[in-house]
Structure 1
Amino acid sequence: MSKKFFNVRVYGLLINDDNEVLISDEQEHGIRFTKFPGGGLEYGEGLIEGLKREFVEECNTEVEVISHFYTTDFFVKSAFNDSQIISVYYLVKAVSDLRFATKTIVFDFDGEGDILQAFRWVKLSELTVDDFTFPTDQYVTDLLIKTI
């Protein structure tokens, strides 16, 4: 029998002055997916500390948390292992200059490798749940569309 465990994830909803939200196209070991920027909490980290670390690692950008947006309140099994995903989403704003390239085409990766990532800005007025791969991101997108 496989071991079950919880996987805590933290994500940031970064909206720019043009009412666009930042999304991340990724590929890991041949699996492509689109999600919000962020990732797994490391042991010993708080949620906000983990989110700030993820933005520095992925986007080379420091962020400040504006407010809590959503925490998973339904069961989600990981697409990658036997863990149960608990995701926390925050509205964030950049506190340093944006120092990362963005793309306009889905999965437009630079280079090759097992782990690839590319960012895109998507207008909130054009955002749909179909832009995202995972059920929690889709749910959050629906909430974001209704809220904004």
Structure 2
Amino acid sequence: MSKPVFNVRVYGILMNDNNEVLISDEQEYGMRFSKFPGGGLEFGEGLPDGLKREFMEECNTEVEIVKHFYTTDFFVKSIFSESQIISVYYTVKAVGELNFSCKTEVFDFDNDDKEAILQAFRWVNINDLKLDDLTFPIDQHVAKLLTA
């Protein structure tokens, strides 16, 4: 039996004053997907530090962790590698101004290069959030918890 490989990911649930949650539309590895902002934990990083780094890298915005929201409690295999995904979600709030632009349409990238790594953000009202607004099963589960 081969040694298990785990892929630890950390995501932020950022809400605004209009009861909207931030969604990241991305294009990478030849596919398009929508998810909550965040990504992979780097070796030597704690979860909060990894999430803060991801928000700075993706959104150019400093965030503060408010509280733990959810940790994966079911098996999910990565679609990108032979690993098991473990995702941790935190509610976050911005420290200072938001330093990213938002779109209103899904996959409204500034570039139409199908091979490029692209990202765009959009706000979705929590009351209008549907499971198919998000690509991955863990994000869909979190969306259910958010809208319950």
* Common fold by TM > 0.5: yes
1:53 Cα deviation from its structure 2 partner? 0.2
State the SS of the aligned residue for 2:127: helix
Query: Runs of at least 4 residues of structure 1 off by over 6 A?
Result: none
Counterpart residue type for residue 102 of structure 1: C
1:1-148 mapped onto 2 (5 Å cutoff): 4-111=4-111, 112=113, 113-146=115-148
What TM-score, normalized by structure 2, do the two folds share? 0.95
Q: In structure 2, what residue type is equivalent to 1:115?
A: I
What amino acid does structure 2 have at the position aligned with 1:106?
V
Q: Deviations over 1:27-54 (max 9, x none)?
A: 1032010000000000000000000000
SS of equivalent residue, structure 1 residue 126: coil
Query: Is this contact kept in 2: 1:52–1:64, CA < 8 A?
Result: yes
Name which of structure 1's ranges 109-118 and 15-24 shifts more when overlaid on structure 2.
109-118
Aligned residues between the structures: 146
Gaps of 5+ in 1: none
Q: Is contact 1:2-1:82 (8 Å) kept?
A: no
Q: Over aligned residue pairs, what C-alpha RMSD do you find? A: 1.3
Percent identical across equivalent pairs? 71
Question: Is the Cα contact below 8 Å between 1:9 and 1:85 reproduced in 2?
Answer: yes
Residue pair 1:4, 1:82 contacting (<8 A) in 2 also: no
